Structure 1
Amino acid sequence: MPKGLSWPPAILPSTINATPPTPSTSPVASTAIGNQNHVLLVRLAQELGADVSKINTAVFGGASESTVALLGNNIDFSISGGETFAGYQKSGELKCVAVSGEGRLGGELADVPTLKELGVALSYSPTRGVIAPGGLSTEQIAFWDKTLKSMSESAAWKQAAEKAYWRVDYKDSKAATEANAKDRDELRAVYSTLGIIKK
């Protein structure tokens, strides 16, 4: 958020902020319709009691474009990965108001509270994964489970994750399949609300 605004923004009326929404003057950024940042916006709005259909979502081509819009006070609110905002949080040019995951992040974002700390009963952490073609043998799956686990434990990967403000939470093929099934159900509900898919 631009540093002069307060949390939560007026587009998300709730028990935390009872101000009526002003969607025409309070745009919120997304880098794509239906991506992980947009999904978090919808879930946050629902949790705070806002009418999702009334939110004025400005779609940008990437996080850098939406950040420029934030810095220029052309939008009031944006959701993105921690790496996008860390430098601006340090300089004071932007105000990071919340982390959506279970715990706080480190580095320049160490003082940013989680949504739960702010009284919002929501935790959301999109995942990154590797998807292989169907029909892999048991041996092939075991190979990739071992290889990717080893990679996730390497110093190079941990260093890259720290720089990008990622949490390393390796899941093997079985655990990842189970997690993806849960994510699929949640995404289907959000996409139905947005009208991207039919209910």
Structure 2
Amino acid sequence: MAHQQITLRQLMTVAAGIVLAGAVPAAAAQSWAPEKAVEVVVSSAPGGSNDRIARTLQRIIQEQKLVPVPVSVLNKPGGNQTISRVYINQNPGDAHFMDIGNPTLIANTIAGRQQYTDFTPIALLVNEFTAFSVRADSPYTNAKELVAQLKKDPDSIAIGVSNRGGTNHLAMSLLAKAGGVDPRRLKIVVFKTNAEGLTAVLGGHIHVVASAVGTAVGQMRDGKTRIISVSAPQRMGGDLAEVPTLREQGYDVSLSNWRALVGPKGLSAAQVGYWEDVLTRVVATDAWKAILARYFWDGNFLRSREFGRYMESEYAQIKTIMTELGLAK
């Protein structure tokens, strides 16, 4: 029995040694941290939701000292948000370059401009909704009045969006379709940011802008614009408590936008894991929660794997919408 016990102990010791020996290189392979300045690239100009998300991340990461290197924000607007993504994919496998992802990444895939699968999903951060804003002295006080004019003469209403095929454009197109208007006849004007579209509304250059709620609220608070509806599934709170949803006005339309972090193609599991952990700490801060409340963003944090599945479902949904609207290639 003694000989048998010694043999078992020896076997267990050898087995444990094998396991530990195998674990050392595995642990080493899992280790990654940035060694140079990190760039968070934004596909639109300063002032919009994409830019605001990027600069909020930058501020919290640096204030909380969550990474050992500087983090900068680089705006590269243009090309219906393809330019910034071409830029980060010039650095494949390099997790020092990231982009603020949104549904336009999916829409550009469907339109044949870019493939969302050419990028590495890191994490989903927030969801937001579309606000439909007109100038405070506009004759349109609700969505029904706007749709009635669109039915009468689509060319008489200039509509601002920040990109073609993005959530705000799709929400406007779905509203038109629900009201019996051919979305392809809409007079769409594309701006670099939602903020630029709102400025155009104030200047009388366009009649309505479909933008992110968080960007639109400030002008409404100042009494310069009127938000005639939102694309949320139910009425929102705070400053938007008196704004009816599209559904409340008789249009079965509800669509959400999202903001995320994506990296260039070819990132390793260790690189993705590093940024997942950093972002997990970011979204737990009081500063992040305050920003969510201020801009009416819904926190919806998903790690890389879940975010990847989320984008797959988004692709199917958006492709169906864009096909129905005649916007798919």
Quickly name the TM-score band, shorter chain normalised.
0.7 to 0.9
Residue 49 of structure 1 pairs with residue 184 of structure 2: no
SS at match of 1:6: coil
Q: Which region of structure 1 is more displaced relative to structure 2, 182-191 or 91-100?
A: 182-191
Tell me if the contact between 1:87 and 1:108 (Cα under 8 Å) persists in the aligned partners: no
Structure 1 CA distance for aligned equivalents of residues 325 and 299 of structure 2: 30
Map Cα deviations across residues 20-46 of structure 1 (whole Å, 9 max, x no partner): 331221111112222222122222222
Map Cα deviations across residues 41-85 of structure 1 (whole Å, 9 max, x no partner): 222222333201111112223223321221233322211112322
Q: Which residue of 1 aligns with 2:250?
A: 119
Measured after TM superposition, the shift of residue 139 of structure 1 is: 5.3
Which residue identity is paired with 2:228?
V
Q: Of 296, 299, 317, which aligns to 1:165?
A: 296
Which runs of no fewer than 5 residues in structure 2 stay unpaired?
1-133
SS at match of 2:257: coil
Which residue identity is paired with 1:35?
G
Q: TM-score, normalised by structure 2?
A: 0.52
Which residue identity is paired with 2:188?
T
Measured after TM superposition, the shift of residue 180 of structure 1 is: 0.9
Q: Of 170, 173, 177, which aligns to 1:39?
A: 170
Change in 2 beyond 3 A, CA 1:61/1:9: farther
Q: Of 9, 12, 35, which aligns to 2:147?
A: 12
Which residue identity is paired with 1:86?
V
Measured after TM superposition, the shift of residue 157 of structure 1 is: 0.9
Alignment of 1:49-198 (within 5 A): 49-136=180-267, 138=269, 140-192=271-323, 197-198=328-329
Tell me if the contact between 1:11 and 1:55 (Cα under 8 Å) persists in the aligned partners: no
Q: Which residue of 2 aligns with 1:2?
A: 135
RMSD, matched Cα: 2.7
Q: How many residue pairs were aligned?
A: 194
Higher helix share: 2
Tell me if the contact between 2:184 and 2:326 (Cα under 8 Å) persists in the aligned partners: no
SS at match of 2:189: strand
Which residue identity is paired with 2:135?
P
Tell me if the contact between 2:228 and 2:244 (Cα under 8 Å) persists in the aligned partners: yes
Q: Which residue of 2 aligns with 1:28?
A: 159
Measured after TM superposition, the shift of residue 92 of structure 1 is: 2.6
SS at match of 1:129: strand
Tell me if the contact between 1:28 and 1:78 (Cα under 8 Å) persists in the aligned partners: yes
Higher strand share: 2
Which runs of no fewer than 5 residues in structure 1 stay unpaired?
none
Map Cα deviations across residues 172-198 of structure 1 (whole Å, 9 max, x no partner): 223322221121123323444566542
Compare relative contact order (CA 8 Å, sep 6+) and give the higher one, 1 or 2: 2
Change in 2 beyond 3 A, CA 1:97/1:173: same
Q: TM-score, normalised by structure 1?
A: 0.80
Tell me if the contact between 1:83 and 1:163 (Cα under 8 Å) persists in the aligned partners: yes
Tell me if the contact between 1:11 and 1:23 (Cα under 8 Å) persists in the aligned partners: no
Structure 1 CA distance for aligned equivalents of residues 197 and 286 of structure 2: 32
Change in 2 beyond 3 A, CA 1:139/1:59: closer
Structure 1 CA distance for aligned equivalents of residues 169 and 185 of structure 2: 14
Which residue identity is paired with 2:151?
P
SS at match of 1:34: coil
Larger radius of gyration: 2
Tell me if the contact between 1:151 and 1:157 (Cα under 8 Å) persists in the aligned partners: yes
